[in-house]
Structure 1
Amino acid sequence: MKWNPDECDCSVAYTLAIVGGKWKWLIIYKLWNNGIQRYGELKRNIPHITHKMLSQQLKELELEKLISRNEYHQIPPKVEYALTEKGVSLIPILQLMSQWGDDNKPDIESK
């Protein structure tokens, strides 16, 4: 998603343009929680994401310099993803989101 300052010149709009959506936060969380991961590991750790969506989201996160992609020229090819310093700077927000979710998600037993 591209940020367009003509639509809304505010910091929240910019942040949402960079990391908005369902999958980017989960990818960032998995890389933070599990460390460096290969594509297949990320796919296994986020089972409901499609291959196309995972690939697209990884490319967008890399373009924004939130993750790094390290390609090793070997057979079979090996690619690893990791959080960059800029990506790690989102972790306090992610921790607050996690705490909010813990505090507000409905009790499974009460359903």
Structure 2
Amino acid sequence: MGRRKRRHLPESLKREAVERVRTSGLPICRVAEELDVHETVLRRWMARCAEPGTGPARRSVTQAQGPSPADLAAESARLKRDPQRAQMERDILENAALIFGTASR
């Protein structure tokens, strides 16, 4: 396999890519795919653009809010109905099997 020719991209594009990762909330791999660069290259750009003394550049991790009480109540009701529905479907299938089993004899 031949090696890929090294591309030299302008600094402005690198800065814009880093800014896009920081502001858009998209994962680094997605932005890297959009720019057709390897994820590692984009991570290097981010490390290079980081402010000195702040450590590696990372996206802030936001915690997702938990479900609302109404969502929890709806989910609880659905889970209580599921076994009843499964039992009803099983009974219908058993009756059908009995009906069709005796009809074929």
Fold equivalence (TM over 0.5): no
Larger radius of gyration: 2
Interval containing the TM-score (normalised by the shorter chain): 0.3 to 0.5
- The higher-RCO structure (CA 8 Å, 6+ apart) is 1
Name the one with the larger strand percent.
1
TM superposition score normalised by structure 1:
0.31
